[in-house]
Structure formats: structure tokens, C-alpha cells
Amino acid sequence: MTEDTMSLFEETALNAKNKRVQGLYRTLFMLMTLLLITPVVIILATLVVKGSAVLSIDFLFTDPTDGMTAGGIFPALLGTVWLVTVALLVSVPLGVAAAIYLSEYAPDNWFTRLINLAIINLAGVPSIVHALFGVGAFVIFFGFGTSILAASLTLAIMTLPVVIVATRESLQAVPQAFREACWNMGATRWQTIRKVVLPNSISGILTGVILEVSRTTGETAPVMFTGAAFFLPFLPQSVFDQTMAMSLHLFVVSTQVPHVPEALPYGVALVLIGMVLIMNSISIAFRMYLRGKKKW
């Protein structure tokens, strides 16, 4: 090897400078990322520290007392379970059907683009506008009154895009060759979807559903006027009753009720955020596990 080729790979002054500049930029962007994440982590840590003071099994499973300044959050917790369950019963079948249509049937034309645009816009409509729609359509027009049914339908429509997008993605991840093999055996489209496409994408759909549960749990504005009440002395018996809800309960105890002990709303916030983050973590972990397991 001659000296010329040796020097070709040696670091010149320019190389060294470039390296320094690049290191500088790398550090700068890393700092920006950390600055974005750190405050939120500190805030969450504060919530955990202050909230854990009131957290106990009793807190979760007893009724609020003394004008909501003491006691637990059981009716709100149960109400959220009601709202989420009824919303899922509507949005999952509808969302999965929409995703099957978009992934397996829809031709690539203007109408399909219109559907996609509608989905994007449905996700972008402000939550309070969804609330107005819920009041106008379900509470007044269809006569459900302020009830779990009206609130859950509003939530279902609002979170429909979450199910559609997640399901469509996992359906499209099934290789086309799987479908073609099945068609060649003489199966109809639906037989192919039921026996080949859905079994191969069911876990992806499930992660989408978990995400939707998490979204639905945290939404406040859409249920405020459609079915969630500030305080109820009884538990809901059917979908036509009103209910309390975790998200609204946090709003109420932190803004509407006088003389609430400081720690109480922290406890409510901690439970709410705990529910949401745990569900999202499950969904993410599930997705990673699936990605590792995938055979094709």
C-alpha cells in the first residue's frame, strides 16, 4: 500500500471539523427531544407522588361522600366501564366492517378516496362538536335523552377512525399471496376473509381495539351533555340511565366542587391516567410481540 492511499483514509482537518459539527447537531437535537419529554415525565411523577397518597382499594370501590369531598370513585369507575363497553359494541363491528371493505373490496377510485377523507375528518372533528352532534342526534332527535346509550354512540362515532385505521393496517399486512392461494381453491371472497385474512390479522385488530378503549376512557367533552352526570346517588341500571364517568369526575372534582382536599383530584387523575397508559402499554407490547413472531 502506497503512502497516497493511506492518506486517503486519514482524517483531514475538514473531516475533523465536520465530525465536530455533526456531534454538535446530534447533541442539540437530543436535547430538544429530552426537553420535550422531561417536563411531561416530571409532571407525571408529580401526579404519581401526590395521587398515591389517596390511592387505596377503598378509594376505588367506595362511593364519594360529603358532597364529593371525600370517599371513593366507584360510581365513576363503573360508569366508564359502561360507557366504554357500549361504545365498543357499536364501533368495533362497524369499524371492522369498514376496514374489511376498504382493504378487501374497495376499488381504487374517487369514492374510496372520499371514504378515506371522511375517516380523516371524522378523526379531526373537535370533540366538542361531536358532543353537539350527540346532543342534536341521539339526545334530542332519536329521543334517547341524556343516557349511557346516547353518550356511548357519540363516543363510538368519535373513536371509529381508531378502529378502522388499525384494522385496515393489519388486514393489509396479510400477504396478497395468502388470498390468491385461497381463491384458487375455489373459495369465495368472504370464505377467504373469514378463514385466511381475519385469523392472520386478529391480533393486530385486537391492538387497535385496546387503543380505542384507551381513547374512549379519556374522552370528556363528548359525554358531558349526552349522558355523563356530575353526581348521581345511584348506579346505572340500564343503557337508558345516566351515569358518572372517570374523565368527567376529574373535571368536576378539580373545578366544580368547593373545598375538595388537595390530594383527591390527584388521586382521580392518577387512576384515569393509569388506566389509559396501562392499556396503551399493553397495546404496544402486544404489537412488538407480534412483530417478533411474524413468519412472513
Partner 1 sequence: MSEQNPSSVEIMDAFDRRDLAWFIDKLVQVLVFIGGISAIVFIIGIFIFITMEGFGFLLDTLDFREFFMSPWWEPTDEDEPSFGILALIAGTASVTGLAMLVAIPFSLGAAIYIGEFATGKKRESLKVLVELLAAIPSVVWGFIGLSIMNPLIIELFDVPVGLNVLNAGVILGLMAAPIMTSIAEDALKAVPDRYREAAEAMGATRWQVIFKVVLSAAKNGLLGAVLLGVGRGFGETMAVLMATGHAINIPGSVFDSVRALTATIAAELGETAVGSDHYQALFTIGIFLFVITFVINLTADLIVRGIRNK
Nearer to partner 1, 78 or 106 (CB): 106
- Of 101 and 178, the one with the shorter C-beta distance to partner 1 is 101
Residues between 260 and 289 that touch partner 1 (CB under 8 A): 262, 265-266, 269, 272-273, 276-277, 280-281, 284
Q: What's the Cα-to-Cα distance from 261 to each of 63, 67, 122, 213, 257, rounded to whole Å?
A: 16, 12, 39, 30, 10
**Widest pairwise Cα distance in the chain:** 90
Angle made by CA atoms 220, 223, 227, in degrees to the nearest 5 = 145
Question: Alpha helices, DSSP H only, in 101-126?
Answer: 110-124
Interacting residue with partner 1 among 12, 16, 21, 261 (CB under 8 A): 21
Tell me how far CA of residue 197 lies from CA of 57, 91, 107, 193, in angstroms.
43, 20, 18, 5
Q: Which is nearer to partner 1, 100 or 148 (CB)?
A: 100
Question: For partner 1, which residue of 122, 173, 282, 290 counts as binding (CB under 8 A)?
Answer: 122
Told to check if 140 binds partner 1 by CB under 8 A, we report yes
Task: Single out the segment in contact with partner 1 by CB under 8 A; choices: 1-9, 60-68, 128-136, 233-241.
Answer: 128-136
Among all chains, which residue has been given the C-alpha cell 381504487? 108
For residue 118, state whether it binds partner 1 (rule: CB under 8 A).
yes
Q: What letter would DSSP give residue 140?
A: I
Q: Which residue of 68, 84, 98, 205 would you call a contact of partner 1, by CB under 8 A? A: 98
Long-range contacts of 193-199 (CB under 8 A, 24+ apart): 193/100, 193/104, 197/104, 197/171
- Encoded one letter per residue, x for contact with partner 1 by CB under 8 A and - for no contact, window 49-88 reads ----------------------------------------
Pick out residues in 157-176 that bind partner 1 (CB under 8 A).
157, 160-161, 164
Distance CA 238, CA 245 (A): 15
Of 237 and 249, the one with the shorter C-beta distance to partner 1 is 249
Region near partner 1 per CB under 8 A, out of 2-10, 75-83, 98-106, 233-241: 98-106
Stretch that binds partner 1, among 59-67, 177-185, 217-225, 236-244 (CB under 8 A): 217-225
Cα–Cα distance for residue pair 215/156, rounded to 1 Å = 10
To the nearest 10 degrees (0 to 180), the angle between helices 74-100 and 263-293 is 30
